[in-house]
Structure 1
Amino acid sequence: MKGFSTLAVVIILIIVVIAVAGIFFVINSQGGHNTTTTSTSSSFSTSSQASSSQTTASSQISASIIAGGSTFVNPLMQVWIKDFQSNYNGIQVTYSAVGSGAGVNNFLQGAYDIGATDVPPPSNLYQQLTQKYGEVLTIPDVVGAVDIIYNIPSFSGTLNLTADVLAKIYLGQIQYWDDPAIKALNPHFNFTHQKIIAVHRSDGSGTTFIFTYWLYTSSQSWRSSNVSYGYTVNWPVDKLGNGLGGKGSDGVTAYVSQNPYSIGYVEAQYAIAKNLTPAAVLNPSTGDYVLPTQASIETAIQNANLSSLPSSLTRDLSQYLSVFLNVKAHNAYPIVTFSWLVIKVNYTDKSKAEAIYLFLKYIATTGQTELPSGYIELPSNIQQLILQNLKLISYNNTSVYTLVS
């Protein structure tokens, strides 16, 4: 009995130990589950709080930006606006492609918050802007080129042209495609005796400004005339009945497409979109005939003297129009330019100031990636120059940069 009792006690003790261990395991398992649940809940809560804390005042801005001007930048601007507003749905941006001249003038009159132009405002216009607004910023937004497009039936190969030949066409001094000056540049083609229709912009245009300024700097024939350069000029070819004015870049491309034996000038992306053939243009600095390709435009950018640009973009930048023209480098297309945006520096509307700052910051950074054909991104040093100058934008003498960063 005693042995049995001892054995029974041992068995009972083993059962008790097992039972206690089981109870401890269950309790510990439940505690671990609760801890994991709490931890997960806490982690989710922390993530939500982090997300909430990262929602800065900038994403809550409610403002409208009215911009307009350059037709050159319009296709890209529409892409920018859509992408920007997907991140800042409280900021509404509208852009009207009315031409550079009207864009800057509407900005001067207060109708636009941003004036877009293919050239920096001329000195006289810059003076008017500063008289009205105090300081203004003139900011590059993208790089592009002016293509010389043509419609010559049965023409094959590449049409070679020089600034002087183009000048004489628009001056009305060369009127037919079989002119000896054109034939000398293109001995591979037998031109017929057909009158040249010289298409140009009918509205105030930055593209016209660039084209005529390039003619002025590159052609003695153009400099000897009284045409000069500007958003609009009096075209001598019109007096002969050989000129045709199209409104906007779309108007010029349409007229060249519809009229055999015509020639015109448009921004590269319009030529690409309409599948119009560009001419190879002589770069007088190198003697090369160069087609407007991404490579030739980038070559011009890479070899331009960008160090000549001032550190302050509040200055009169009209003298820097030629920075990309006739760049001395082989395979550099000779008619390359910045596109520009003009804005005020000082604002009394906080939301407006913040919205403009954020939009222009977007353009100078994210907006420079994956650009459509015909546009080339700003050099990295120019992007940094823009970001530094955007810090000048202020609300009641306080830098907006400090409010939204």
Structure 2
Amino acid sequence: MNRLKIMIILILAGVLLAGCVSKPSEVQPTGQTITTVQPAKTSLTVTLNGAGATFPYPLLSKWSSEYNKINPNVQINYQSVGSGAGIQQITAKTVGFGATDAPLTEKEFSNVSGILQIPETIGAVVVAYNLPGIQKGVKLSGDVVADIFLGKIKKWNDPRITSPNPDIQFPDKDIIVAHRSDGSGTTFVFTDYLSAVSPDWTSNVGKGKSVNWPVGLGGKGNEGVSGLLSQNPYSIGYVELAFAKLQNIPYAYIKNKAGKFIEPTLETTASAAAGAVPNLPAGDASWSSVSIVDAPGDNSYPIGSFTYLLVYKDQADNTNGKALAEFLWWAVHDGQKYSSELLYVPLPDEVVSINEKTIRLINYNGQPLI
């Protein structure tokens, strides 16, 4: 009997010792120790509701699916309604997170107490067109694009279009302009670019998530503009690169600040973002001045942007808040591996580091949730 008692005691001691062994931190080749956050396996079903930009929708949809595989009890419901609506809904606290391609303006930022801005990825806006028989690669300068959307250039065979494209036979057809009809971060990025390259655009239209378009047909979301382009031969519009690729809509090579006509790709968009990275603000500060349009560099594509997730620092519910913080941590780390296949630029390490500090600010009753 005594021998049996001794054996039981030894077994229990072994179990207790095993339970005290902690998983070592992950050490990177650089020697930097990275804290690994494993999503909590909860028996409760948690739904994270978000709304906003159509620009990152393909990536957010992928994240939702992949994250649910590793944490089946967390459902992510994202409504692709446009950046303007996303900002309105997170401001009203009707969703747990918002998404926008345009950073909050100074006024928006000052009106929302405790909001955090988290760059989730980097993408390009393309000038897409439907020219029967002509594929991608039409070369356009920024001032020409501005004048098309101002209604000053009306025909596809206008000399300002044909001159840099001597090998293309353009038709004598009216240009049909397509633009967004809703409040849109994609519109902000596009009009930010036009304002940077065209004084006429700046003085007559300006930049914003919604502007008074001089000409054209309006469509809701990147999906709506893509639809208008597909349905209307001889049309031109602006959409996110992934939407153009998915719909097989040709797009232009745009003249950059260095005078080069640049194709929108992951590499050329990353090149444009590289110059802005060292000067980015903290996640709880204003990002209103952050822009990567018309960036310097021979290989920089001139119409791109960070796109952002918006969350509150102070969470009203511990369970939902923790689930949200863990999802965000996963998105800016493991989630980045899904970016390239969907034609988004993975976040540079410096931006991930900023995001880590930002996500650690998320708390419930003063207690950090990461």
TM-score above 0.5: yes
1:25 maps to none
Q: Give the Å deviation of 1:339.
A: 0.8
Please tell me the root mean square deviation across aligned C-alpha atoms, in Å: 2.6
3-state SS of paired residue (2:178): strand
Q: Give the Å deviation of 1:298.
A: 2.5
* 1:340 maps to 2:340: no
- In the alignment, the residues of structure 1 paired with residue 337 and residue 226 of structure 2 have an alpha-carbon distance, to the nearest angstrom, of 27
3-state SS of paired residue (2:327): helix
Q: How many aligned residue pairs are there?
A: 347
Gaps of 5+ in 2: 1-6, 24-36
Deviations 1:130-172 (A, max 9, x none): 2xxxx11000001110011111112257211111111111111
1:257 maps to 230
Gaps of 5+ in 1: 1-37, 238-242
Q: Which amino acid aligns with 2:255?
A: L
* 1:379 maps to 2:348: yes
3-state SS of paired residue (2:344): coil
Deviations 1:320-345 (A, max 9, x none): 1x1x2222111211111111001100
Q: How does 1:61-210 map to 2 (within 5 A)?
A: 62=44, 63-130=46-113, 135-155=114-134, 158-210=137-189
3-state SS of paired residue (1:319): coil
- Which has the larger Rg? 1
Contact residue 195 and residue 201 of structure 2 kept, 8 A: yes
1:308 counterpart (242, 267, 279): 279
More helix by share: 1
Contact residue 85 and residue 92 of structure 1 kept, 8 A: yes
1:214 maps to 193
Cα 1:61–1:360, aligned 2, differ >3 Å: closer, same or farther? farther
* 1:353 maps to 2:321: yes
Q: Which amino acid aligns with 1:314?
A: D
- In the alignment, the residues of structure 1 paired with residue 39 and residue 190 of structure 2 have an alpha-carbon distance, to the nearest angstrom, of 44
Runs of 4+ with >3 A deviation: 49-57
1:233 counterpart (190, 211, 214): 211
Q: Which amino acid aligns with 1:337?
A: S
- In the alignment, the residues of structure 2 paired with residue 186 and residue 271 of structure 1 have an alpha-carbon distance, to the nearest angstrom, of 21
> Could you state the TM-score of these two structures normalised by the residue count of structure 1?
0.80
- In the alignment, the residues of structure 2 paired with residue 287 and residue 357 of structure 1 have an alpha-carbon distance, to the nearest angstrom, of 43
- In the alignment, the residues of structure 1 paired with residue 194 and residue 207 of structure 2 have an alpha-carbon distance, to the nearest angstrom, of 8
Deviations 1:187-229 (A, max 9, x none): 222322211001011111100010001101111221231x111
Q: Give the Å deviation of 1:373.
A: 2.9
Contact residue 61 and residue 355 of structure 1 kept, 8 A: no
- In the alignment, the residues of structure 2 paired with residue 114 and residue 222 of structure 1 have an alpha-carbon distance, to the nearest angstrom, of 33
- In the alignment, the residues of structure 2 paired with residue 94 and residue 50 of structure 1 have an alpha-carbon distance, to the nearest angstrom, of 36
> Could you state the TM-score of these two structures normalised by the residue count of structure 2?
0.88
Report sequence identity in percent.
35
